[in-house]
Structure 1
Amino acid sequence: MLFLIILLIIVCVALGLFVLVQNPKGGGLATGGAGSNMFGVQRTGDVLEKGTWVLLTLIVVITLSITTIAKSGGSSTGGASKIQEHLDKTPTPSPIGNRTAPAAAPVATDTTKK
């Protein structure tokens, strides 16, 4: 699972770079400079767009894989199960805490003369 998390971070950084490099008007970093068409803006834009979709798909697949592995309890280390056992042993506190019920207020008697 650690491998998938590291892979997800790498793919996210790559996606960020792909998005930052492209510009839909052709004036981004993909251009060859001041008006020159050295790299071929149209083809570079197509490659960057396809790469963005591929990286986005990879992020979705890796994220769903991590979620599935985590829910099924497929942890490769025994440390997580020890922590879970310790959490299961600790008593859960009462939702209202350790407060006692408040004392009943004394009934007020009417001391005025009639």
Structure 2
Amino acid sequence: MRWPLRTRRRDQHGRAPGAEPALRLEYLRDALAERTPDAYWRAAALLEQIILLRPLPVRSELFAYGVAAAYLEASGERVDTAYEPWRDLSRDIQALRLTVYDVADRLRSWRVTGPPD
């Protein structure tokens, strides 16, 4: 039995058609630039996973809030850290009403501008 990958046509250098290395690198660079997750998306993914997986016996939601807020702060982003909106977000995540993209949008909406306190 021949493997399907070995049956593809190759050019004189043994490469598959359309596999120019420079073009592939340029395509990958552009794709990564457009799809690189920002700090809010990464914090949202972290927050969602901690809340849903419940790594601690108690208060995983509070731990997730602290970790996500600290992650955003370490990334140079500032958000409103009042607990009530985070609590509501936590409840929505637990009820599976939000995707990670919705969580990231909500975190972005809490962005604080101006000099640090």
TM-score class, shorter: under 0.3
Structure with more of its chain in helix, by fraction: 2
Computing the radius of gyration from Cα coordinates, the structure with the larger value is 1
Q: Name the TM-score, length of structure 1 as normaliser.
A: 0.26
